[in-house]
A = this chain, B = another copy of it.
């Protein structure tokens, strides 16, 4: 196939949109390892057969579809996930999966042979609604702790049992891990899940990296007292102290001196009664930024600030637990491939961080990674009214197709030249 023809290659729009609809007809609650999730897994396997790729399930229960290349050796990986959150949407995960199928089917129909084999990877349990998330991609990256296999869901089923039910073999998890030399790169198409692209009127987001995330639990302890009999001067109100902290997070992050976003999303108040001064508030603090060090220093800033609030409010505040997940930067060469694909298709683009976590974050440990975002209407995601227009889905899939062609055509030159 001559270069001109390759450049004019486009995915089948109707088929892409139809496959998204076929997933939607299963409903949009497919919690990983549940019966609903297994129906989603069966559907993607059915679609892989339609496309004509070799399909297999690995030891951690990732579903893998393979199309050979001219060379043996390192592969180009492309994928996403078919599990959802409870009451999730139609596009999160599914778009990346059906677009990956569409890329392969388009190449198949146009008789385009790639230099490198292509592997469609449908990762097990991205969303982590029962067990910790990203089980499949963490296993591929070699960072799934075998201890997790004994964790149980609310029905007492272990993760090992759940993986087995989905066709995996948890006794051979190590087989799943890949070495960096095995992959040319990994590209994932995903809806943005935020409102930035829509607000800018931009078609394609090119991810520069997936942000670092710090999650901390903070416990404010005051004294629960009768709200009628306790004068203001004798109060140790855990909620008013917590409110000061919530305001501080909002104001300090907005000032722009700290990390890019910070959220207090969850509060548990004891006793949470209208006529009792709150005696205890447990709250979550979440900080994100592409720069790991900025997340760390912002956390330290708030840890100091808490001491001031405690002293002024006469309560005790402790930081109970803090976990940081490192950021994952996109590979410049993969980003370059996506940029060229976007340019070829005449689409506007915006280079941006991913504030949400994705399997790509894990796969970045063993392969050069890139992600393509398409707009989410009103930034809504993880909800039934999550929506991305047909046109934006098609744009995303075409960018995915040409990014892979770019990666396939140029990788050899860069690495060997």
Residues of A within 8 A of B (CB): 192-196, 199, 211, 213, 215, 224-234, 237, 239-240, 242-244, 246-247, 250, 253-254, 260-267, 269, 272-278, 284, 286, 288, 354-357, 379-383
Complex: A286 Cα to B230 Cα, angstroms: 13
B379 to A227, Cβ gap below 8 A? no
A381 to B199, Cβ gap below 8 A? no
Copies in the complex: 2
Given A230-B379, A233-B254, A265-B275, 8 other A-B residues pairs in contact with their CB atoms under 8 A: A196-B231, A213-B228, A229-B379, A229-B381, A234-B379, A242-B243, A265-B276, A266-B272
B226 to A382, Cβ gap below 8 A? yes
Chain B nearest CB from A19 CB (Å) reads: 24
Residues of B within 8 A of A253 (CB): 232
Chain B nearest CB from A382 CB (Å) reads: 6
Given B195, B234, B246, B260, which contacts A240 in the complex, CB threshold below 8 Å? B246
Complex: A359 Cα to B336 Cα, angstroms: 77
Given B254, B274, B356, which contacts A215 in the complex, CB threshold below 8 Å? B274
Given B194, B231, B286, which contacts A231 in the complex, CB threshold below 8 Å? B194
Complex: A172 Cα to B65 Cα, angstroms: 78
Closest 5 CB pairs of A and B: A194-B229, A228-B355, A243-B243, A227-B263, A274-B284
Residues of B within 8 A of A356 (CB): 226, 228-229
B265 to A226, Cβ gap below 8 A? no
A274 to B269, Cβ gap below 8 A? no
- Please judge, given known A-B contacts A240-B246, A246-B239, whether A227 and B265 are in contact too, CB under 8 Å: yes
Interface centre among A215, A243, A263, A381 (most CB of B within 10 A): A263
B232 to A379, Cβ gap below 8 A? no
Chain B nearest CB from A190 CB (Å) reads: 10
Residue of chain B at shortest CB distance from A248: B243
Complex: A275 Cα to B319 Cα, angstroms: 18
Residues of B within 8 A of A240 (CB): 246-247, 250, 264
A230 to B195, Cβ gap below 8 A? yes
Complex: A345 Cα to B242 Cα, angstroms: 46
Complex: A215 Cα to B273 Cα, angstroms: 12
Complex: A272 Cα to B272 Cα, angstroms: 14
Given B224, B233, B239, B247, which contacts A244 in the complex, CB threshold below 8 Å? B247
Residues of B within 8 A of A264 (CB): 239-240
Given B225, B243, B260, which contacts A379 in the complex, CB threshold below 8 Å? B225
Residue of chain B at shortest CB distance from A264: B239
Residue of chain B at shortest CB distance from A274: B284
Given B229, B284, B379, which contacts A354 in the complex, CB threshold below 8 Å? B229
Given B192, B199, B230, B382, which contacts A355 in the complex, CB threshold below 8 Å? B230
- Please judge, given known A-B contacts A243-B246, A263-B275, A266-B274, whether A192 and B229 are in contact too, CB under 8 Å: yes
A254 to B232, Cβ gap below 8 A? yes
Complex: A239 Cα to B277 Cα, angstroms: 19
Given B229, B246, B260, B383, which contacts A224 in the complex, CB threshold below 8 Å? B383
Given B250, B276, B286, which contacts A227 in the complex, CB threshold below 8 Å? B286
Residues of B within 8 A of A237 (CB): 250, 263
A231 to B260, Cβ gap below 8 A? yes
Complex: A224 Cα to B381 Cα, angstroms: 9
A211 to B194, Cβ gap below 8 A? no
Chain B nearest CB from A202 CB (Å) reads: 14
Residue of chain B at shortest CB distance from A380: B225
Residues of B within 8 A of A244 (CB): 243, 247
A211 to B195, Cβ gap below 8 A? no
